[in-house]
Amino acid sequence: MTDSAASPLEPAIANLIVQTLKLKVDPSAIDPTQALFGDGLGLDSIDALELSLAISQTYGYQLKSSDPEIKAVFSSLRALSTAIEKNRTK
């Protein structure tokens, strides 16, 4: 997955991340290409689990660690938004 064009879902996903994880940041201030985990936004595996539930409930996309693209999917807001757009069932 590459950093291609922005997904139209980006602002909604930024909101979902901030609200689900109760982050103290402005959703529009998240750099869409910045890393979500580790050094970037600083999320961890518990956040990933929590976020996966919100994504599944809102968009019907069930994340799986065995998905070979999972690392890319979680690499940035842009990649995540693109993956949700592609795999959403609702």
Q: Which residues bind another protein (CB under 8 A)?
A: 22-26, 38-39, 42, 44-46, 48-50, 52-53, 56-57, 62-66
Burial class from Cβ neighbours inside 10 Å (0-12, 13-18, 19+) for residue 32 reads middle
Q: CA 53 to CA 60: how far, in whole Å?
A: 9
Cβ closest to another protein, residue 8 vs residue 68: 68
Task: State the minimum distance, in angstroms, from the CB of residue 61 to another protein.
Answer: 10
User: At its nearest, how many Å lie between another protein and the CB of residue 86?
Assistant: 17
